Amino acid sequence: MDRIFFGDNQFFGVNHASEEKARQQLMRFQDINAITDTLYAAYSAGVKGFMCTTHERMIEVTEIVRKDPQKWDGMRFYPGMPYAHKYANAVTEYGPLEALKRFMPSGGLVDAALRGGKALVTRDVESIITLLVDAEMKAFEGLDTPIVFLQNVVTDLVLGMGYHEAFAIFADHVRKRWKAEPGYFTMNLPMLLPVLDKVGVKNPIVCANVNKVAFRMSGGVEAYREATAKTPARVIAMSVLASGAISPREAIDWVVNEPYVASILFGASSRGNIENTVSLIREADAKRQGALATA
């Protein structure tokens, strides 16, 4: 698994600290070239893992990467799904049947349609889950997708509803159909980990907020430490800067020393910020390794 991931929030004007900055980013990244230039800046800095939604703009990015494999050699996509707004908009524009056809993988249209029909008639949750995953993965055919993530809106909804077997269904399908590992975004890591373990998803890949001030960390830092000590997991830390509440160096120095953190996910909109963040992570990692070696 990559040590550093680059995310796509900035491309859609997501900023928890400043609405004005979010608006400026949204306007800037209306140009697809601005998106690919920023992504290539991360790639050039050695970050080849791109964690993204399946938003229409990201599908444009996959098409650009697919057309120039030499330029993007070694690029890995880590899609998170489902992207609910996309389905709603497509149904409105094309109607339910045409929308379904547009999202189906080219190699499995008949099978997917049959499973979709079964789901509608019997409310078969397994059919719905696998149908949605296959629909979302259509955009990534031919690209390297080592991990496929369930978005936190769905993860935490399923967690709250108690239909925990859905997590295992998702994991099994991603492994068998797409030869990838399952991953889970969540806003409630302490609650999710024992549930995944109970349904057979061992040592899971979980992406959650991890930062020094416990910004959007359900239960706080100690709850995360206790949960990961009891139930091993490969945790990808996001929101490490707590939306700007912590300076980059302080935030990164702290997060790399959290023993359960396997990787760090960050987003940035300029080459300078990208290179600075990557440099800080590598510097902090080297310092930690040095300290462990002399301990």
Domains of the chain: total: 1
d(CA 68, CA 207): 30
Residue 215 domain flag: yes
Which are the contacts of 42, defined by CB distance < 8 A and separation ≥ 6?
6, 50, 268, 274, 278
- Backbone φ, ψ for residue 109 (5° rounding): -60, -50
Residue 280 domain flag: yes
Specify the 3-state DSSP secondary structure of 21.
Answer: helix
Q: What does the pLDDT profile of the chain (295 residues) look like in tens digits?
A: 999 999 998 898 655 555 666 566 667 788 999 999 999 999 999 999 999 998 888 999 999 999 999 999 999 999 999 876 665 565 567 665 565 566 555 544 445 544 555 444 444 667 777 888 998 898 999 999 999 999 998 899 889 989 899 999 999 999 999 999 999 999 999 999 999 999 999 999 999 999 999 999 999 999 999 999 999 999 999 999 998 889 999 999 999 999 999 999 999 999 999 999 999 999 999 999 998 888 7
CATH number at residue 179: 3.20.20.100
Kindly report the pTM of this predicted structure. 0.85
Residue 124 domain flag: no
Residue 49 domain flag: yes
| CB contact at 8 A, 248 and 264 | no
| CB contact at 8 A, 199 and 94 | no
**Hey, what are 248's tokens?**
């980059």
Strand duo 4-7 + 261-266: pairing: parallel
Residue 203 domain flag: yes
pLDDT digits (tens, 9 = 90+) for 16-41: 555 666 566 667 788 999 999 999 99
Question: With the C-alpha atoms ordered 244, 249, 254, 257, is the resulting torsion angle positive or negative?
Answer: positive
Residue 35 domain flag: yes
d(CA 132, CA 136): 6
Residue 24's domain comprises 4-82+144-294
CA-CA distances (angstroms) from residue 138 to 2, 101, 112, 292? 23, 11, 12, 44
Taking each helix axis from N to C terminus, what angle separates 271-294 and 32-44, rounded to the nearest 10 degrees? 30
What pLDDT does 14 receive?
58
Residue 150 domain flag: yes
pLDDT digits (tens, 9 = 90+) for 172-207: 999 999 999 999 999 999 999 999 999 999 999 999
Residue 71 domain flag: yes
Q: Exposed, middle or buried, 267 (CB in 10 Å: 0-12/13-18/19+)?
A: buried
What one-character-per-residue DSSP string does 199-253 give?
Answer: TT--S-EEEEE--TT-TT-TTHHHHHHHHHHHS--EEEEE-TTTTTTS-HHHHHH
What one-character-per-residue DSSP string does 101-169 give?
Answer: HHHS-TT-HHHHHHHHHHHHHH--HHHHHHHHHHHHHGGGTTSB-SEEEEPHHHHHHHHHHT-THHHHH
